[in-house]
């Protein structure tokens, strides 16, 4: 009668493998959403940085003109340097964001791989249970003289 339990176990192992795959796929979706959130946050941060930089530039121009100096020479060089540094800073922010997004996408891919492995493991375990059930039936047939 152990073959009955083996057949039941096979169904449960297969179902568990599918469930674990669904969990891994859900985890993958979460990682993809995290990557998208990083992208959106970076867009927001760069927009805010641009706004703050424009305010700083405006304040610097007003202070320069208010002091009686002209926007030429050193003052103009400082504004140009600040603009170049702002672009470098935005490039660094964008690069770091893309690296973080790539890491999240890799985590998503890895979760899907783990899910496939979990499903396959459940299938293999189920096949083992079916094989044990078959062996039990063969033993019963051998003992009873049917086979």
**How do residues 46-61 score in pLDDT, each as one tens digit?**
999 999 999 999 998 8
Q: Which domain holds residue 116?
A: 2-144
Reply yes or no on whether the pLDDT at 23 is more than 90. Answer: yes
Burial class of residue 44 in the structure, from the number of CB atoms within 10 Å of its CB (0-12 exposed, 13-18 middle, 19+ buried): exposed
Q: What pLDDT is stored for residue 46 in this prediction? A: 97
- Total domains present in the chain: 1
> How far is residue 37's CA from residue 68's CA, in Å, rounded to a whole number?
47
Per-residue pLDDT at 98: 98
pTM: 0.72
Q: In the predicted model, what is the mean pLDDT of residues 139-143?
A: 68
Backbone torsion region of residue 70, taken as left when φ is above 0, otherwise alpha when ψ lies between -120 and 50, otherwise beta: beta
pLDDT above 90: percentage of residues in the chain: 51
Asked if 119 and 18 touch (Cβ cutoff 8 Å), the reply is yes
Is the Cβ–Cβ distance between 130 and 10 less than 8 Å?
Answer: yes
């Amino acid at each position: 009668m152990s073959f009955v339990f083996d057949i039941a176990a096979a169904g449960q192992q297969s179902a568990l493998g599918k469930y674990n795959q669904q969990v891994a796929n859900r985890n993958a979706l979460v990682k993809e959403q995290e990557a998208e959130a990083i992208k959106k946050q970076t867009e927001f941060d760069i927009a805010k940085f641009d706004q703050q930089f424009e305010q700083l530039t405006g304040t610097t121009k007003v202070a320069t003109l208010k002091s009686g100096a002209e926007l030429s020479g050193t003052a103009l060089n400082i504004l140009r340097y600040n603009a170049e540094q702002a672009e470098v800073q935005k490039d660094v922010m964008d690069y770091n964001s893309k690296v973080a997004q790539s890491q999240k996408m890799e985590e998503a891919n890895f979760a899907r791989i783990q899910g496939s492995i979990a499903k396959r493991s459940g299938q293999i375990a189920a096949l083992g249970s079916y094989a044990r059930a078959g062996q039990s039936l063969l033993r019963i047939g051998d003992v009873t003289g049917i086979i």
